[in-house]
Amino acid sequence: MSAAKTHGFQTEVNQLLKLMIHSLYSEKEIFLRELISNASDACDKLRYESLTNAELLSDDDELAVHVSFDKKKRTIVVKDNGVGMNEAEVVENIGTIARSGTKQFLDSLTGEKSKDAQLIGQFGVGFYSVFMVAEQVALTTRKAGDDTSNGVIWSSDGQGEYSIEKADIKERGTTITLKLKKAEDEFLNEYRLKNIIQKYSEHISLPIYMPKAEDEGEDDKDQPKDAELEWETVNKGTALWARAKREIKTEEYNQFYTSMTYDSDEPLSVLHNHVEGKQQYTSLFFIPSKAPFDLWDRDRKTGIKLYVRRVFIMDDTQNLMPSYLRFVRGLVDASDLPLNVSREILQKNQAIQKIKSASVKKVLNELKKMAEKKPDDYQKFWDEFGRVMKEGVVEDFENKELLQNLLRFATTNDGEEKQTVSLKDYASRMPESQKSIYYLTADSHAAAKNSPHLELFRKNNTEVLLLSDPVDEWLVAHLHEYDGKSLKSIAKGADLDDVQDDEAKEKAKEQEKDFSDLIEKFKKALENKAKDVRLSQRLTDSPACLVADEHDLGGNMERLLKAMGQDAPDSKPILEINAEHPILVNLKDNNDKVEDWANVLYDQAALSEGAPLNDPSAYVKRVNSLLSENL
């Protein structure tokens, strides 16, 4: 045995350990769930590797987890015969947190104990949770296939440092020994431990063993050696998804969901299918009721679990569900794939592509059904996942039809921020004369709702979709039309024919003549800012607004692209002015300050869109100079 080396934990680990020890003590029992989940992962990995290298299993081929405790020594031991780790892997895996999402995780903690404990499970910083209950932890491990002399003993008290030494270890796999803190004796109890295992790990598909009960009242007796113990399994360990649907109770599905996701809320929907015929596979999908904290994290590793004939193969994040359905959890168990399928093969595999395409349709049809039969549930779903679903319209042309009917929007109808109106609802309310579906994009709901562009539409009671999610700009760019009606931005172009009556059109012609002189002066004053200046047909209360040319991107889209660091063409907007507004009525006859007025009106129109001003101090100076004139 070589001498032990001492290392310091990475800063983030220390931060996490402190958090774990000081603020999450209400859910201490999850440490066992985390250890068993790691043991189960290690066994899955070994099973997978042994498909191409059978020698790794040698004669120890029943992969299992053993959990035991010793009242006298006050220890709990969790042991697996999975892949194990070599020294470099121990240092890498238990001592640093490699994932880039760590900071995001730490930021997302709420300070509320039960919520945070749940987050820890989702994030998978599981191993460190042992320090909630243990004052000293030893991990001995030897990698499958390595020489017995390549064993490693890692140990730590969770106070900033850990030590590592080489050791001779006969059996492959990992054994974790916790020396419990003084106050944690409750875990030195057979029923307590069994109970935790059943609560969290019932459906882990490998056996979890505990020693058969001893006689009561012999706490001080020395624990017999492992070999002398009689072990019994404490979990069912059967693959739930392989059973017939009609035999499975809702609670069983829910429990399975929780054990797979650590999400303690019940799923909104369960989709379980045994597919027979040319291609045989089983899928079990869950639609969660809440969005996970990392839904927008690109490094997110959760996805759909792929099994082949009940052997776990991998967590897959792209081949079984498209990115816009990344909130769907569950698994696919395929019968016809080779067991040693790799990620690369998976990408090109026709059978997998067919399973994916059928799975997407299953999920979308389930949502369609929910929207029709359980609109309240669907609304909950949309509130959580609507923004992701909108990506589907951009990405998934094949299912456009299904997807566009699942969309929900806020509109001027109720003015609420909640997105509740479907395109079908909207279309069914359109008067005969209205040809297009009108929408307005802005960077917040408030900005959309209060936009001057809406004035004419409000006056005429024409409903307008109010879009304020960043993805909406892409959505409308791909949607184009619904049910033969084109989608039209009310902040673009000049054609408002179908919301205007003939009388208004006549009046507009008159005003053109009256204002032609003023408009020329405005154009000159705004030469560098505006593409054009014209009289507006869409304003009733505001003096001016900006509109984009029919084929320009529009202000909101340009700002979004710039915020993402992309090149956006700097197209100039068109300034529209309101001929009925007192400011302009006065300016028409008395325009010696016209340059100031033109600039102030332009800047105000930009502000009301939520756009930043290029030269805020020039704006302030102009406003002050105009105000002081009237003092």
- Which residues are at the interface with ligand ADP (CB under 6 A)? 34, 38-39, 42, 80, 82-85, 93-94, 124-127, 174
When the beta carbons of 38 and 536 are compared against Mg ion, the nearer one is 38
| Residue 80 interface partner, choices Mg ion, ligand ADP, none, CB cut-off 5-8 Å depending on type | ligand ADP
Residue 210 per-residue DSSP state: E
When the beta carbons of 82 and 386 are compared against ligand ADP, the nearer one is 82
Member of 82, 95, 101, 126 binding Mg ion (CB under 5 A): 126
- State the angle between helix axes of 594-608 and 582-589 in degrees (0 to 180), rounded to the nearest 10: 160
| Rounded least distance, CB 99 to ligand ADP, Å | 8
| Rounded least distance, CB 177 to Mg ion, Å | 18
| Rounded least distance, CB 16 to ligand ADP, Å | 10
| Rounded least distance, CB 421 to ligand ADP, Å | 41
Say which residues have a Cβ less than 8 Å from residue 68's Cβ, sequence separation at least 6: 76, 77, 79, 210, 211, 223, 226, 229
Residue 301 per-residue DSSP state: -
| Residue 42 interface partner, choices Mg ion, ligand ADP, none, CB cut-off 5-8 Å depending on type | ligand ADP
| Residue 201 interface partner, choices Mg ion, ligand ADP, none, CB cut-off 5-8 Å depending on type | none
When the beta carbons of 86 and 254 are compared against ligand ADP, the nearer one is 86
What tokens appear for 575 in the block? 């300034």
| Rounded least distance, CB 54 to ligand ADP, Å | 20
| Residue 536 interface partner, choices Mg ion, ligand ADP, none, CB cut-off 5-8 Å depending on type | none
Q: Look up tokens 């987890």; give the residue.
A: 65
When the beta carbons of 3 and 98 are compared against ligand ADP, the nearer one is 98
| Residue 145 interface partner, choices ligand ADP, Mg ion, none, CB cut-off 5-8 Å depending on type | none
Q: How far is CA 183 from the centre of its chain?
A: 38
When the beta carbons of 174 and 412 are compared against ligand ADP, the nearer one is 174
When the beta carbons of 50 and 282 are compared against ligand ADP, the nearer one is 50
Nearest by Cα to 87 from 38, 151, 179: 151
**Dihedral-angle region of residue 278 (phi above 0 means left; psi in -120 to 50 means alpha; beta otherwise):** alpha
Residues 147, 141: contact at Cβ < 8 Å? Answer: no
Q: How far apart are CA 546 and CA 41, in angstroms?
A: 58
| Rounded least distance, CB 122 to Mg ion, Å | 11
334 CB neighbour count, 10 Å cutoff: 22
| Rounded least distance, CB 83 to ligand ADP, Å | 6
| Residue 83 interface partner, choices Mg ion, ligand ADP, none, CB cut-off 5-8 Å depending on type | ligand ADP
When the beta carbons of 125 and 587 are compared against ligand ADP, the nearer one is 125
| Residue 211 interface partner, choices Mg ion, ligand ADP, none, CB cut-off 5-8 Å depending on type | none
Q: Which of residues 27-86 bind Mg ion (CB under 5 A)?
A: 37-38
When the beta carbons of 30 and 306 are compared against Mg ion, the nearer one is 30
| Rounded least distance, CB 126 to Mg ion, Å | 3
Q: How far apart are CA 287 and CA 281, in angstroms?
A: 20
Which run of H or of E encompasses 277? none
- Kindly report the backbone phi and psi dihedral angles of residue 578, in degrees, each rounded to the nearest multiple of 5, phi listed first: -95, 110
When the beta carbons of 298 and 513 are compared against ligand ADP, the nearer one is 298
| Rounded least distance, CB 102 to ligand ADP, Å | 11
Q: Which residue is nearest to Mg ion (CB)?
A: 126
Strands 485-489 and 574-577: unpaired
Count of CA atoms in the C-beta half-sphere (13 A) of 504 = 17
- Which ranges in 109-189 belong to alpha helices (H)? 113-123
Q: How far apart are CA 469 and CA 442, in angstroms?
A: 8
When the beta carbons of 128 and 515 are compared against ligand ADP, the nearer one is 128
| Contact range with Mg ion by CB under 5 A, out of 123-131, 163-171, 448-456, 567-575 | 123-131
DSSP lists the bridge partners of residue 173 as: 142
Q: How far apart are CA 341 and CA 338, in angstroms?
A: 6
Q: How far apart are CA 564 and CA 560, in angstroms?
A: 6
Beta strand extents in 245-351 (DSSP E only): 269-275, 281-287, 304-308, 311-316, 329-334
Nearest by Cα to 309 from 345, 333, 343: 333
| Rounded least distance, CB 41 to Mg ion, Å | 7
List of residues contacting Mg ion (CB under 5 A): 37-38, 126
